[in-house]
Amino acid sequence: MSPRPKRLRRISNPPIISGFKPYGGSASDNPAGSVFLHYEEYEVLRLCDFKMLNHNQASVIMDISRPTFTRIYAGARAKIAEALVTGKQIIIEGGKIYFDSEWHACLSCGCFFNQPDKIEKPVICPLCGSNKIDHCAEAPEPEIDFHPHCDDQCICMRCGYEKPHVPGNPCKYEQCPECGTHLVRKDMLEKRNK
């Protein structure tokens, strides 16, 4: 029985670099070799560790399941650790991915067309052949309400000010704009009072 085919992973943009090389030490100290980081592994690190999204939010952006996202994330971190510990270079390439398409407009005929390959920029309009091409504004990553049923509130115990709780942002780090007291989670306060 053949394995189940992998679902393509959505990548917002290719990385601005194609890898890293170790610095320092002598060539005889470093074992020869490279660690290959796939584009989807780069993207999970970008979304989780750089943009600070949780796994559920990032998996929605990449159009994959959360468990798959977590497996890719664990593999990417293991590869980065291997490269750092053994002194191997990191090469970013390949993987089962597709890029969000960039859109362009022809200033001669008014045609809108997309460019699936983000690395190569279009030089002519596919409809009229003109080289007068303008890049349309890039669409931002989708804003998705990840907790539509979350009715938690952050509350000030001194003055009673309330605001909706933002998942991933602890209430204890929020301050009341009216009196400056640190907020607490309303449902935790109710559990304590029972």
Q: Residue 182: beta bridge partners? A: 175
Q: Whose CA is closest to 86, among 128, 31, 40?
A: 31
Q: Return the closest-CA partner of residue 168 out of 47, 55, 15, 16.
A: 55
pTM, two decimals, is 0.55
- How far apart CA 44 and CA 52 sit, in angstroms, is 10
Q: What pLDDT score was predicted for residue 132? A: 86
Cβ contact 13:102 at 8 Å = no
Specify the pLDDT at position 31.
59
φ, ψ of residue 125 to 5 degrees: the values are: -75, 130
pLDDT (0 to 100) of residue 101 = 66
Rounded CA separation 101/12 (Å): 9
Residue with tokens 């029985």: 1
Which residues fall within 8 angstroms of residue 52, CB to CB, at 6 or more apart?
168
20-55 pLDDT tens trace: 988 876 655 555 689 999 999 999 999 999 999 999
Block means of pLDDT (10 residues each) for the chain, length 194 residues?
77 84 68 86 93 91 91 95 91 83 76 69 82 67 45 80 79 82 76 60
Q: In this structure, what token pair is assigned to residue 109?
A: 């005929």
CA distance 40 to 35: 14
At position 30, the amino acid (one-letter code) is N
Q: What angle do CA 177, 183, 185 make, to 5 degrees?
A: 140
